[in-house]
A and B are shown apart, each in its own frame.
Chain A
Amino acid sequence: MTAVDAVVRPQRSSRRRAGRIGIRDGRFALLYLSPALIVFGVFTIGPALFVLYISLFDWNLLNSSLSTFTGLHNYRALGSSADFWHSIVASVYFVGCVVAGSTVFGLGIALLLSSRGLVRRVVRLAVLTPYFTPLVATSIVWVWIFNPQYGLLDSLLRMLHLPMVGWLQSTTWAMPAVIFYTLWHDLGFTVIIFLAGLATVSTDLREAARVDGARYRHEIRDVVLPQLTQTIVFVIVITTIDSLQAFTQIYTMTQGGPLQATTTTGFLLYQESFVFFHTGFGAAIAVVLFAVIALFTLLQLRVSRSRSQ
């Protein structure tokens, strides 16, 4: 045995041993993870792949043997479908307003509530409460608030001698009404995120700015907001994903109407798949929606990673 052998052999054997331990650990990890992987595979990955498969067929929901392979036909049909493009416009309207509203009002309310005090704690609780209420129940309550004959809003308009508005019946007002409800329900979540973000803002810097004579708005603009950038991006991404998936309030309040004014892409997916049973076409919508949401999820992951770094 040479000197080199004497040095190298133990190194090789320890590497081999380490490799064996690594493989064994990997097997154990896989074993422990397998229940979760099986559940995830069967109930999430499997159905998702099946949706992709269905989207390539003129799918017969009741008798799959009568389904015919149509390749990318459903995707081409999506491209030429006026209803689909109308739903994209409605989605952009809904998502844009909800994201902008959640971010601006969420941040504003969080700034107002960030200092201590009993009243502010009570207000904080009040803002957060709607978020914990069931969407179906509260959206039905809002349907009655928006009712043109007996609703609270139109009663106020009548008291002020203003013309009545059919909030959920008008193509002009139905989407703003649904957006208003969504903001009312979801704002508490963004306020909490912003409050958490504000807790990490350096108080030394804020005090230094104040000592230097900065006004409140300058303190917010030049000291607080730059430190909140990642929180703001996080809120925008999360709210965008949530809004793209919004369904319950649209289903309960407007059923996508009037005249499809509130038919977002998510609602169109339901309508085509489960009302008209155009299953292949609906699956193609689901795949497109999935791709968009996956894009935002990746963005969110990157933001989360950069935050943790």
Chain B
Amino acid sequence: MTPFAQNHHNSREGTMHWHRRSSIVVGALLAAAACSYAAYGATASSRATINISFMEAMASGTQKPSLDLLTKRFEAQHPNIKVTLIAEPNYGVLQQKEQAAIAAGKPPTIGQAYENWAAGYADAKAIIPLTGYVNSKKMGVTTADRKQIWKGVWQDLFLPDGKIWMWPFNKSDYVMYYNADKLAKAGLQVPKTWVQFATVAKALTKSGNWAWSTDTGTLAAPADGTIVMLAMIHAFGGTWIANGKPTLNTPAAIKALGYLADLKKSGALQIGTNYPGETALGAGRSAFDLSTIAGYPYELAADGGKFSMKVAALPTGRNGEGNAMAGTNIVIFSKASNAERAAAWQYMKFLSEPRQTAYWAEATGYLPVTKTALPIMKRYIATHPYQQIAAHSLDVARGNPPYAWWTVAEGQLATALQAVLDNGGDPAHALAAAQAKAMAAAGG
């Protein structure tokens, strides 16, 4: 158990104090809930201009102009709402800025957030649940529209309390990039299952070439290799969490890590740092890279037109396709007034609507969050078929489990991968050690 968790569990006085305060808190929450639900009825339609701010990390490439354009379109439709975009250079900086703003008591109205960030923000009472807005008759989302949101994306909006705390924005998932020329030259088919992947990978490993390079990352910064391992756990029939606790050493996880260890031993898998998959595929040394669809332009730039690079869904296992969702959702910070919250909700909903999410996907390479965007993207998909492949995977993709301790658990999984793939450790032993530390972080 980490000292952080111990603090919560060893303090009896703290628990009693909590019980005494809980009745006051429950009363206050009921009152606040009554006020909040009253707010769902209020639209941001009063004549006074409502200013909202959006802290985001969509600052590179086509992301910034695309978000600027969507925001202008929204403002044109809602003349009384003014949206100020606060662009941060990357997610790391975004998280620090959001935390600093929350700690200072001056957060923006809304911000991008990963699931485990949102869990921490909710624990600190820094964000509000969106269930009331989503269910609102006046400004909510219809049941028919809800059903069109990809299953994985919809499940990703909830925290463990069963309430919706986030709304989807920039979503992506993992795909398999491959060198089609290399496979054709070797007379090999594109692997559809993990069993086929191993066979093809080993067949391609000769003369200084190998099949796949990845970066496991570290305890402090898990990378693609660890995320792909998470996808494999689902494909092999395992889980990441159960009953609110990590499950890193299930038989499926041990099997997945054993599979990767076997690939590494055969030389088909190489471990590196600084996007080794992209580099090796681009240099023609490997045949595959398993990475997010949002990285497509970078993969394309790496291959430089030297070969035909194609995209397929991740291979399947006993449980079908497993996939890990990347990208963030949007949260509303609790310091916002009722009018600001209502205006913010309208803006968030606007961004997720078919026309806007389709434009966003075409412009940036992220995926549309709803199936109804695909017909709008028909012409685009004809020339960019990989977008549809990745979009369909959103049905099975899973986001980070919405627990603040997941950062530690994922880091521990990266450590287990390092122990086995770089240092020859035993998969069961390495995962048991990771599970013990992840459980300690989860207060178990």
Q: Interface of A with B (CB < 8 Å)? A: 58, 60-64, 66, 68, 70, 73-74, 77-78, 81, 140, 143-144, 147-150, 166, 168-171, 254-260, 263, 267, 270-271, 274-278, 280-281
Beta-carbon contact of B220 and A277 below 8 Å: no
B120 at the interface (CB under 8 A from A): yes
Beta-carbon contact of A61 and B273 below 8 Å: no
CB neighbours of A171 from chain B (8 A): 422-423
A148 CB to nearest chain B CB (Å): 7
B280-303 Cβ-contact flags toward A at 8 Å (1 or 0): 100101000000000000000000
The A-contacting residues of B in range 14-54, CB under 8 angstroms, are 14
User: 5 tightest A-B contacts by CB?
Assistant: A77-B3, A257-B218, A62-B124, A58-B7, A63-B124
Question: Which of the 9-residue segments B77-85, B344-352, B404-412 touches chain A?
Answer: B404-412
Beta-carbon contact of B422 and A169 below 8 Å: yes
Beta-carbon contact of B4 and A256 below 8 Å: no
B92 CB to nearest chain A CB (Å): 9
Supposing A68-B11, A277-B120 touch, asked if A258 and B418 sit within 8 A by C-beta, the answer is: yes
Beta-carbon contact of B14 and A68 below 8 Å: yes
CB neighbours of A271 from chain B (8 A): 219-220
A70 CB to nearest chain B CB (Å): 5
CA of A199 to CA of B368, assembled, Å: 70
The A-contacting residues of B in range 416-444, CB under 8 angstroms, are 418-419, 422-423, 441
CA of A275 to CA of B406, assembled, Å: 11
B102 at the interface (CB under 8 A from A): yes
Interface residues on B, range: 35 or more
CB neighbours of B123 from chain A (8 A): 60, 62, 66
A166 CB to nearest chain B CB (Å): 6
Supposing A58-B4, A62-B121, A149-B272 touch, asked if A275 and B220 sit within 8 A by C-beta, the answer is: yes
CA of A66 to CA of B14, assembled, Å: 11
CA of A73 to CA of B5, assembled, Å: 12
Supposing A70-B11, A170-B422, A278-B2 touch, asked if A64 and B271 sit within 8 A by C-beta, the answer is: no
Q: Which residue of A lies closest to B107 (CB)?
A: A62
B66 at the interface (CB under 8 A from A): no
CB neighbours of A63 from chain B (8 A): 102-103, 124-126
Out of B3, B124, B213, B408, which one reaches A281, CB within 8 Å?
B3
B99 at the interface (CB under 8 A from A): yes
CB neighbours of A278 from chain B (8 A): 2-4
A53 CB to nearest chain B CB (Å): 15
The A-contacting residues of B in range 97-129, CB under 8 angstroms, are 99, 102-103, 120-121, 123-126
A266 CB to nearest chain B CB (Å): 13
Q: Which residue of A lies closest to B441 (CB)?
A: A276
B378 at the interface (CB under 8 A from A): no
CA of A73 to CA of B126, assembled, Å: 27
B425 CB to nearest chain A CB (Å): 9
B288 CB to nearest chain A CB (Å): 15
Supposing A60-B124, A62-B102, A281-B3 touch, asked if A260 and B219 sit within 8 A by C-beta, the answer is: yes
Beta-carbon contact of A149 and B276 below 8 Å: yes
Identify 6 residue pairs between A and B in the complex whose beta-carbon atoms are under 8 Å apart, listed by A's number: A61-B103, A62-B103, A66-B125, A78-B3, A149-B272, A257-B415
CB neighbours of B273 from chain A (8 A): 143, 147, 168-169
CB neighbours of B422 from chain A (8 A): 166, 169-171, 258
B221 at the interface (CB under 8 A from A): yes
20 extra interface residue pairs, beta carbon distance < 8 Å, beyond A274-B96, A275-B411: A61-B103, A62-B120, A66-B123, A68-B11, A147-B273, A147-B276, A148-B271, A148-B272, A149-B272, A149-B285, A254-B218, A255-B218, A257-B220, A258-B422, A259-B418, A260-B219, A260-B415, A271-B220, A280-B4, A280-B7
Q: Which residue of B lies closest to A57 (CB)?
A: B7
- Best-buried of A64, A143, A276, A280 by chain B (most CB within 10 Å): A276
Beta-carbon contact of A256 and B220 below 8 Å: yes
Beta-carbon contact of B418 and A73 below 8 Å: no
Out of A144, A148, A259, which one reaches B270, CB within 8 Å?
A148
CA of A257 to CA of B271, assembled, Å: 13
CB neighbours of B120 from chain A (8 A): 62, 277
Q: Which residue of B lies closest to A82 (CB)?
A: B437
B336 CB to nearest chain A CB (Å): 16
CA of A10 to CA of B296, assembled, Å: 91
B6 at the interface (CB under 8 A from A): yes
Out of A73, A144, A263, which one reaches B7, CB within 8 Å?
A73
Beta-carbon contact of B274 and A143 below 8 Å: yes
Beta-carbon contact of A66 and B408 below 8 Å: no
The A-contacting residues of B in range 123-146, CB under 8 angstroms, are 123-126
CB neighbours of B6 from chain A (8 A): 73, 77
CA of A197 to CA of B276, assembled, Å: 46
B61-76 Cβ-contact flags toward A at 8 Å (1 or 0): 0000000000000000
Beta-carbon contact of B404 and A277 below 8 Å: yes
CA of A70 to CA of B13, assembled, Å: 11
CA of A194 to CA of B246, assembled, Å: 55
CA of A281 to CA of B7, assembled, Å: 10
CB neighbours of A166 from chain B (8 A): 271, 422
Beta-carbon contact of B272 and A170 below 8 Å: no
CB neighbours of B103 from chain A (8 A): 61-64
Supposing A58-B7, A62-B121, A68-B11 touch, asked if A149 and B280 sit within 8 A by C-beta, the answer is: yes
CB neighbours of B356 from chain A (8 A): none
Beta-carbon contact of A275 and B125 below 8 Å: no
CA of A263 to CA of B418, assembled, Å: 14
CB neighbours of B272 from chain A (8 A): 147-149, 169
B33 CB to nearest chain A CB (Å): 19
Q: Which residue of A lies closest to B101 (CB)?
A: A62
CB neighbours of B219 from chain A (8 A): 255-257, 260, 263, 271
Q: Which residue of A lies closest to B215 (CB)?
A: A169
CB neighbours of A74 from chain B (8 A): 3
Q: Which residue of A lies closest to B126 (CB)?
A: A62
A216 CB to nearest chain B CB (Å): 45
Q: Which residue of B lies closest to A270 (CB)?
A: B220
CB neighbours of B217 from chain A (8 A): 255, 257
CA of A70 to CA of B221, assembled, Å: 29
CB neighbours of B147 from chain A (8 A): none
A229 CB to nearest chain B CB (Å): 41
Q: Which residue of B lies closest to A81 (CB)?
A: B3
CA of A150 to CA of B422, assembled, Å: 17
Beta-carbon contact of B125 and A276 below 8 Å: no
CB neighbours of A277 from chain B (8 A): 120, 404, 407
